[in-house]
Every structure is written in structure tokens, then in C-alpha cells.
Amino acid sequence: MNYLEEYRLWSTAHFLIADAGYELGDVVEDGQELLLVNPENRGAQMVRLVLSDLNWANQLRREIEFMLDNAKKLKRELGAKDLKILNVYYTQYSPVDDFEELLAQSRNGMDIDTIIVDSETGITALAKIRQRFGAKQEYVEQESYSEDEVRAMIDLTLSEAGKKAKKNLAPEQGKPWVSYLLIAISVLVFLAMTAAGGSTDTQNLIEFGAKFNPLILDGEWWRFFAPIFIHIGLLHLFMNSLALYYLGPVVEQIYGHARFLFIYIFAGFAGVLASFLYSPNLSAGASGAIWGCFGALLYFGVNNKRIFFKTMGSSILTILAINLAFSLTVPGIDISAHLGGLAGGFAASAVAHFPGNQKRLQQFAVLAALALSVSGLLYYGFSQNYALVDEKSMLMFAQEKIQKEEYRSAEQALSEYTVDEGESADTLFLLSFAEIRLGKIEEAKEHLHSALESNPDFHEASYNLALVYMEEKNYRKAKDYAEKAVALKPDNKDYMEILNTINDYLESPASG
């Protein structure tokens, strides 16, 4: 065997890597056998190039049988229903006995086409191989090659393969500064919240922008994004920062800085949107965005199955399964935000795709579908009015409006809430307070009476009724409700004071 066959093998490999989108999988037996993979080429997801002397057809048969057995693993890695393999042998002479029946073999969804490149048919066979993979230039070669020329072709091929591998696994080199910047922002926000009163204080969380459904429905759209950088307690910050520290750089190197930032922010938004639709609770945290990193890695795996499972696939799927089980079983975890972030990260990755490998039509189609989906979900959420708000959140919202003396907003929200979700003593009491401030005394009295019917021990409602009747100079009724308030809360000085004031008036000559 001379250097011609060896040069042919490596020049074919270089063509497949540089021009046909293949990646170098394995180099076997010191370069005597090469495996190249391109899952997107349905005509041949795998190409096997072998430098070998084929003397007999039985040798070729054993080689093909061995190849079929080993191809099962590749089929699983690619997740392919059907696997097509091109098997190319570089040899000086073809087998002396009949071998044509072995050139096309099939088994269990795997098809192997075999081409023999020998001294007689070499140029023709190589030209057909290149045409099969879209070569535009005619194949030409010298009559012979030196060892140095072969070595130069090997170096050129391996260099091209290395560049492609680095591009696929880490298209943007350098430090993953976006990941570190996101962690730094979260830490700074946490410190600011701590200085302002604590990151677990409900009012503080609301003021800094936590997800709070009543305020989102009130028009504060920025609360779909602000919660990504807010954490409830030091442990919450530490766990999310740790996850981002390990996951973020991997995703950032695969997709690049700008694409990673887009994926992270959109996944965080998707997590908050899902929480807005399915959980009425006050919430915050980067969990949705971090689950979006899992979604981005899954998208990478779908498009690069072999690399994914060869490098990180099993670990990622195991961690994802553990986190999913944890989220489903531990109370208090906002599973809707996690799953929303996972889906959002996957979808955003499909829109961004990979650097240097753009699929504009596919990306635009996904973007259009994503825009329609988000618009539909937002329309659904805002059309539900206060159905997405629980009583605790509504009371907090109304109290905040009352503290700001925005009585009309408080009255409108509480009125709509009681119509949609039913009346409770607490909501009726706050509604009556707003109505008193707006001068709607009759409506306020009606709602205070309803509150007492719902909860006879509601001493604050009795006290407010005493005040209302006293303002109307109906001192007999005022006394009845003041006495009820004192009976329920005898140690309350305000209640005793109003009762004494009423009694003094009733005992005075002016009472008539």
C-alpha cells in the first residue's frame, strides 16, 4: 500500500468536514479508520472511512457485521428512527471473489452503503462520493503523494475538525461575563433590599418589583421582568446564584453573550407569566430563568444529540429530573414558574439558534408562533380580571391604595373582586372604609352590616358602624355597635372612648 490511498482517505475526510457539515467523531487505529457524523444529513448521518487491504469478500462481510453492531449505539445517541451509513474502503485491490451483494445492507432500521475505492476505480468513485455531498468542483488528484504531503493533509483535516468542534461547543470564547453580571445584579438588588428593610418583608418585596398579580393587573407590566433579579432571603439568593454560576457559562459559551442574555431574560419572563396565570401568590426569584438554561441545553441536545450525550446529556437530564421531582413534592415551590421558564428557555433558544448556523426561516416561524402564544396568554390573563388574585393579595393591594389615599382605585378593585370571587368579611370591611372616605355612607353601612353577618366577632366593623351612626347623629344605634365592639375587645381604649362619648351625649340635656 502506498501513500495514495492514505491521502485519498484524509482528503475525503477534509472535504466532508469543511464542505459537507460533518464532524470528526473518532480516529481509530492511528488514522486507519475515521468516523464522521452529521445528524442533519438524512442521506448518511454517519460516514466511515477505512484504510484496509480487502483480499476476500468474507473479510468485507465481517467488517460490515461489526459495523452494524456498533451503529446501534450511534442510533441511540442520535435518537434517529432510521440510520444511514456510508462505508468507504480505501484499498489498492478489491476482493478477488464476488462481493457486490455486500455493498447494500439493511438491518433494524439501519442501512449501510459500501463503496470501495481501489487503484482502478478510485478517481471515479471519489468523484461520485463528492457529488453525493454537493461538491461543485471536479475532483482531481496526483498520481502519487509523498509522506510529507499526507502529513500536511492530516494536519489540515484535524485542524479543520478542531475549529468546528470548538465552534459547536463554545462559539464565543473568553469569560462568560454575562453570567457573572447577572449574578452581580442579583446580589446588589439583595443588598439594597436588605438595607431598605429586608428581602423577606412583604411590603419591601412589592416595592422592589416582586410578582404581585393585583399590581400587574393594575398596569405595572415591568413586574414580568423585575422578579428575575429579586430573591426572598439569603438562601434563595445563594441557591439560584450557585445554579447560575455553573449553568450560565455553559449556555453562554454555546449560544454567545447576546443570545444567552436574550434566552435568560425571556425564560425569566416566561416563568413569571406562567406564575401570573397559575399562582396568585406573591413571588420572586431567578428560578424561571435558570430553568430556562436547562431548556437551552435541551434545545442544544435536540440539535446535537451525539455531542450532547457524549459530553453532558446524561448529567443534565438527571439533574433536571431531580429538580422536577423536588419542585413537585416540596410545598411552597412555584412549579408553574419553573416549567414556564423551561419552556421559555427552549423556545427562546429556537429563536436565537446557534452562532454561525442560522436557519432564518425556521427562526422566524418560531418567533411568530412565540409572539402569538405570548399575546394569547397575556390577553387571557388580563381578561380574567381579578380571578387571578387571591383574597390575601387583594387585601394587601387595597390597603396599599388606601395608605396612598387612592380610595377610588381601592373601591373599584374591591368591588370587582367581590363580584368575581364572592364577599368575605375582610374585603367588605376594606370596601366600606374606602366608601366612607369617598362619602358613600349608605353603601359603607350596607357592607359593614354584611361583614358582621359573615363574621359576628368582627369588632372593627362594629366600631366603624358606631362611628358612622354617630356621624349621622343616630346615637342609639351608635351605642349598640360601640357596646358590641367593647364586648368583643374590652381592652381597646378607642372602643371605650367612643362608647363613653356616646353615653355622655345620651345622658346630657342636649340629647333631649
In b/e form, how buried is each residue of 311-350, taking b as 16+ CB within 10 angstroms? ebbeebbebbeebbeebeeeeeebbbbbbbbbbbbbbbbb
Tell me how crowded residue 253 is: count the other CB atoms within 10 A of its CB. 20
Alpha carbons 88 and 129: distance in angstroms, whole number: 9
Cβ neighbours of residue 376 closer than 8 Å, sequence gap 6 or more: none
Cβ neighbours of residue 99 closer than 8 Å, sequence gap 6 or more: 54, 57, 60, 116
Cβ contact 232:202 at 8 Å? no
Hey, what's the cell of 102? 455486500
In this structure, the chain runs to a length of 512
* Residue whose grid cell is 433590599: 193
Cβ neighbours of residue 49 closer than 8 Å, sequence gap 6 or more: 9, 12, 13, 33, 34, 36, 88, 90
- Is 287 considered catalytic here? yes
Active-site residue (options: 231, 338, 353, 447)? 338
Alpha carbons 68 and 271: distance in angstroms, whole number: 45
Alpha carbons 72 and 239: distance in angstroms, whole number: 40
Locate the DSSP E strands across 294-403. Answer: none
Cβ neighbours of residue 417 closer than 8 Å, sequence gap 6 or more: 386, 389, 394, 427
In b/e form, how buried is each residue of 224-238, taking b as 16+ CB within 10 angstroms? bebbbbbbbeeebbe
Residue in 476, 454, 449 with CA at minimum distance from that of residue 464: 449
Phi, then psi, of 333 in degrees rounded to 5: -90, 135
SS3 sequence, 242-304? HHHHHHHHHHHHHHCHHHHHHHHHHHHHHHHHHHHHHCCCCECCCHHHHHHHHHHHHHHHHHC
Active-site residue (options: 287, 349, 432, 450)? 287
Please give the positions annotated as active site.
287, 338
